[in-house]
Structure 1
Amino acid sequence: MRTQVCETFGIEFPLFAFSHCRDVVAAVTNAGGLGVLGAVAYTPDRLEEELRWIDDHVGGRPYGVDVLVPSKIDESAERAGRGEGGLDTMLAAVPQEHWAFLFQLFEKYNVPLPDFEKAKKANAGSGTARGAGTQVTQQGASELIDVSLAHPIGLIASALGTPPALMVEKAKAAGIPVAALVGTSEHARRQVAAGVDLIVAQGGEAGGHTGEISTMVLVPEVVDTVAPVPVLAAGGIATGRQMAASMALGASGVWCGSVWLTTEEAETPPHVKAKMLAATSRDTIRSRSRTGKPARQLKSAWTEEWEGEGSPGALGMPLQMIVAEGAMRQINKVAESGNEGARELANYFVGQCVGQMNTVKPARQVVYDMIEEFADAIERLNAMSA
């Protein structure tokens, strides 16, 4: 199987795997695809550790890093990113009504939480929440880009919006191709003008931040718009048949994220993984409740409450992340102890293909199954023209 992206990146299969889990990234890369580590949840020091681990486990094979650099965020968060008050500035920018709503939510679902002030610090001051909140700024993303380019990566991607000029300049100076995710053909046109080398056309079926146009409609539009720049299809792709359909639409490969969430290596909490294994394609929703921007995720009490009448409404990015991601850390921790209310609230980003994710497999096996099914699909198509 040789396509333009296979030649460019020196990979066996045109399969790109986005994951927040280093084990998935390494497994897919070692299986012949290209794993891409989502870096938004990491501080620079933690990202350095993760990339060093991947370096040690892929034997020089190519992998990538995905950095979230939104073009527009809350001004107070941007000031914090420039060092003007830091985390305290972000915390102070969250309205009291949102903290109050959060704690009422915890009380309603019988999820234990420390007192109000301590909980705010805990929510935004540690682990994933700290990285997700403070790194979603121009300064924070720049630090992650510098860490990434200090490693032998084969690709750096901008997950949301046109990559800043500094990112493109630094990547090109290092000889690293730049990818960007888009949800419309106009977005794709702007990305190419900004110097992007690879476009990921992501349909609304995808997990995480998405637009509203479906993959089947979006991919050929983007392919025609940016030719000869190569395009990866994304959104709802979890099988070899869907991979073959993407190539028929003109894509040079596929970008998959959700399908790795039920693998053995995935970072998905066990209770959330169980929800995914039981879910249908109708059990997801585009909601601002986790990040402040529309992001597809599992339906749960969390999305219902934030989208409900009593909600103060989601804040902008990254302030909603400060509120939500810290809260979800506590929810997941308590859910693992069997707390039913926490399990009702728990969710995660996932696309509509969750209905096809019914078994737990090693990530390597997912790759091989997709490629085998892709070959079968191509054989059936060839037989039609014989």
Structure 2
Amino acid sequence: MLPSHPLLAAASVRGRRFLGCELAFLGGAMTWVSERNLVTALGRAGAFGVLACGAMTPDRLDEEIQAVQALSDAPFGVNLIVMHPDLAQLVQVCLDRKVSHIVLAGGLPHKDTIQAIRQGGAKLICFAPTLALAKKLVRSGADALVIEGSEAGGHVGPVSTSVLAQEILPFVADVPVFVAGGIGHGEMIAAYLCMGAAGVQMGTRFAAAAESIAHPAFKQAFVRASARDAVTSVQIDPQFKVIPVRGLVNTGTERFAETQVEVIGRYRRGETSFEEASLQIERFWAGALRRAVVEGDVEQGSLMAGQSVGFVKAVEPVADILAELVAQTEAALARRAPAGALPAAAE
């Protein structure tokens, strides 16, 4: 059961109304991790679970959505990657199954995709990496935005969460804006709410939750890690682009840098083409996330994690993690409020 949180409820009323749940906390969509069990655990505990579609086929996504709906009647969202070749069919699956919120990630969505989602009755959440793109997405029809800084796990941009919050929050008021990246304590949740955020998104804190299906070895790697262990992948040569991915350092991380050196060396010596060399580098991590999450290969697999991994001290139930965050946030907001000015929860 969540502790009493009238200040948090009042500070996040816009986000709670938009999501339709008690807490304006979205669970970050993590491939292989954010599936039916974690999504429903977040919903039952009062937060908003987001199902990670990743590379699922439309049929597989349909199966997973139905599984979530069979386990809980709490609202939840589905995260779709805009580069997925079957994006239109995936959107239609969500609409057919009456998913209330669709999150588009991995790039700017096409106007046809936005139109299909809005006409289908779902609420659209988009990621905004800059103020200009945030305003463009709102004009295009986004119902809410997520701004995610470089402290987050997985594929990240170059700008920190705190800078993005300053850049965007004061200037985007038309839609709710949720802040993500490096959030692991209620003090930071309170700070962003006071800056005007409608709520927050967190992934890393829940990746090692008891309800997460991640391999025990994967979870223990999170428990042992500090914030400084979660680093971004290295690009050896500016000619060969590497999209930065933040994760825990392991043997695979070191091997990736070595592979780049080896492959680029063969290209420089004329032993392989630029296209083939680029493909070899790009394919290095293929299947690596599954190896870590599902198979427990924490040495060669990809341990995607945000810098908030330092706040993961044990494998705990989702409800306990949320209760701790709520208590911390309420205490932080109370310190910011005038004496005796504890507003009742706005509904």
TM norm. shorter chain > 0.5: yes
Equivalent of 1:13 in 8, 11, 23: 23
Q: What is the alpha-carbon distance in structure 1 between the residues aligned to residue 193 and residue 278 of structure 2?
A: 34
What is residue 29 of structure 1 aligned with on the other side?
43
What is residue 310 of structure 1 aligned with on the other side?
261
| Aligned-partner residue type, residue 21 of structure 2 | I
Secondary structure of the residue aligned to 1:282 is: helix
How far 1:370 sits from its partner (Å)? Answer: 1.2
Secondary structure of the residue aligned to 2:40 is: helix
1:171 aligns with 2:184: no
Secondary structure of the residue aligned to 1:312 is: helix
What is residue 270 of structure 2 aligned with on the other side?
none
What is residue 204 of structure 1 aligned with on the other side?
150
Distance 1:45 1:353, change over 3 A: same
Distance 1:281 1:327, change over 3 A: closer
What is residue 330 of structure 2 aligned with on the other side?
375
Distance 1:326 1:9, change over 3 A: closer
1:94-105 counterparts in 2 under 5 A? none
Distance 1:318 1:288, change over 3 A: farther
User: Once the two structures are superposed, what CA deviation does each residue of 1:204-254 show, in whole Å capped at 9, x if it has no partner?
Assistant: 101122212111111132123322221101011122222111102210100
How far 1:181 sits from its partner (Å)? Answer: 1.4
1:17-96 counterparts in 2 under 5 A? 17-19=27-29, 20-59=34-73, 61-70=74-83
Q: Contact 1:162–1:194 (CA<8 Å) still a contact in 2?
A: no
Distance 1:225 1:56, change over 3 A: same
User: Once the two structures are superposed, what CA deviation does each residue of 1:137-177 show, in whole Å capped at 9, x if it has no partner?
Assistant: 3xx22222221222222210111221122221111112211
How far 1:184 sits from its partner (Å)? Answer: 2.1
**Structure with bigger RCO (C-alpha 8 Å, 6+ apart):** 2
User: Once the two structures are superposed, what CA deviation does each residue of 1:269-322 show, in whole Å capped at 9, x if it has no partner?
Assistant: 222221111111111122279x95222111222122212363437999999775
What is residue 189 of structure 1 aligned with on the other side?
135
Q: Contact 1:220–1:250 (CA<8 Å) still a contact in 2?
A: no
| Aligned-partner residue type, residue 312 of structure 1 | V
1:218-233 counterparts in 2 under 5 A? 218-233=164-179
1:361 aligns with 2:316: yes
Secondary structure of the residue aligned to 2:28 is: strand
TM-score by length of structure 1 reads: 0.73
User: Once the two structures are superposed, what CA deviation does each residue of 1:45-74 show, in whole Å capped at 9, x if it has no partner?
Assistant: 211111001111222x2110011114xxxx
Q: Contact 2:288–2:302 (CA<8 Å) still a contact in 1?
A: no
Q: What is the alpha-carbon distance in structure 2 between the residues aligned to residue 22 and residue 230 of structure 1?
A: 26
Secondary structure of the residue aligned to 1:350 is: coil
Q: What is the alpha-carbon distance in structure 2 between the residues aligned to residue 8 and residue 317 of structure 1?
A: 42
Q: Contact 2:291–2:302 (CA<8 Å) still a contact in 1?
A: no
Secondary structure of the residue aligned to 2:171 is: helix
Q: What is the alpha-carbon distance in structure 2 between the residues aligned to residue 64 and residue 328 of structure 1?
A: 22
1:158 aligns with 2:73: no
What is residue 350 of structure 1 aligned with on the other side?
305
Secondary structure of the residue aligned to 1:324 is: coil
Equivalent of 1:298 in 243, 248, 256: 248
| Aligned-partner residue type, residue 175 of structure 1 | G
Q: What is the alpha-carbon distance in structure 1 between the residues aligned to residue 126 and residue 172 of structure 2?
A: 13
Secondary structure of the residue aligned to 2:201 is: strand
Q: Contact 2:289–2:304 (CA<8 Å) still a contact in 1?
A: no
Q: What is the alpha-carbon distance in structure 2 between the residues aligned to residue 239 and residue 190 of structure 1?
A: 31
5+ residue gaps, structure 1, are 71-135, 337-341
What is residue 324 of structure 1 aligned with on the other side?
285
Q: What is the alpha-carbon distance in structure 2 between the residues aligned to residue 62 and residue 358 of structure 1?
A: 29
Q: Contact 2:146–2:178 (CA<8 Å) still a contact in 1?
A: yes
Q: Contact 2:291–2:301 (CA<8 Å) still a contact in 1?
A: no
Distance 1:25 1:329, change over 3 A: closer
Q: Contact 1:292–1:315 (CA<8 Å) still a contact in 2?
A: no
Secondary structure of the residue aligned to 2:322 is: helix
Secondary structure of the residue aligned to 1:65 is: strand
What is residue 81 of structure 1 aligned with on the other side?
none
| Aligned-partner residue type, residue 249 of structure 2 | K
Q: Contact 2:263–2:281 (CA<8 Å) still a contact in 1?
A: no
| Aligned-partner residue type, residue 10 of structure 1 | G
| Aligned-partner residue type, residue 347 of structure 1 | S
TM-score by length of structure 2 reads: 0.81
Q: What is the alpha-carbon distance in structure 1 between the residues aligned to residue 320 and residue 336 of structure 2?
A: 24
Q: Contact 1:210–1:296 (CA<8 Å) still a contact in 2?
A: yes
**What is the aligned length?**
311
**Which is worse superposed, 375-384 or 162-171?**
375-384
Q: What is the alpha-carbon distance in structure 2 between the residues aligned to residue 163 and residue 178 of structure 1?
A: 11
Q: Contact 2:292–2:303 (CA<8 Å) still a contact in 1?
A: no
User: Once the two structures are superposed, what CA deviation does each residue of 1:169-202 show, in whole Å capped at 9, x if it has no partner?
Assistant: 1111122111111222233123223211111011
Q: What is the alpha-carbon distance in structure 2 between the residues aligned to residue 307 and residue 179 of structure 1?
A: 35
